[in-house]
Amino acid sequence: MNSLILRTTGRAILPLALLFSIYVLFRGHNEPGGGFIGGLIAAAGLAVYALPRGRSALVRLIRVWPKALIGGGLALGLLSGLPALLLNSPYLTHQWTFPGGLAVGTALVFDVGVYLTVVGAVLTFLLPYLEE
């Protein structure tokens, strides 16, 4: 698909989509949103960028094979439950700390894992359909 409009808007939409996806990711552990929705927004931005440019442009942009994103995301999600086990709590009971009054916990690590898994899954689905 060689559309000048899609090529031009894709370049503008990609950074906005990625910034908004990160905002939704970090907002998610206290408000609606989180890793799944943030990952979908990021994947949509990457798809709009890649549709007029093709598969090789997307692979060059992300620099990581999408299946590696899935594996890394799943590993992060699984690892986020381990601190609870070390503290004799049920697996995936999220632990929180408040450095400087900011709530940071293992829920954020879990959300980042979900984010990476969703981005990797959508891109894995999209890659075979992109033109060269």
Q: What percent of the chain has pLDDT over 70?
A: 98
Residue 60 inside a domain? The answer is: yes
- Cα 66 from Cα 70, distance rounded (Å): 6
Residue 132 inside a domain? The answer is: no
Query: What integer pLDDT is reported at residue 132 of this predicted model?
Result: 62
Residue 24 inside a domain? The answer is: yes
- Our count of domains for the chain comes to 1
Inter-residue contact 91 to 84 (CB < 8 Å): yes
- Cα 114 from Cα 62, distance rounded (Å): 17
pLDDT tens digits, 62-86: 999 999 999 999 999 999 999 989 9
- Cα 11 from Cα 27, distance rounded (Å): 25
Question: The pTM is what?
Answer: 0.88
Domain range holding 114? 4-127
pLDDT at 30 over 80: no
CA distances from 59 to 46, 47, 64, 80, 110 (A): 10, 12, 7, 28, 25
The residue behind tokens 């086990």 is 85
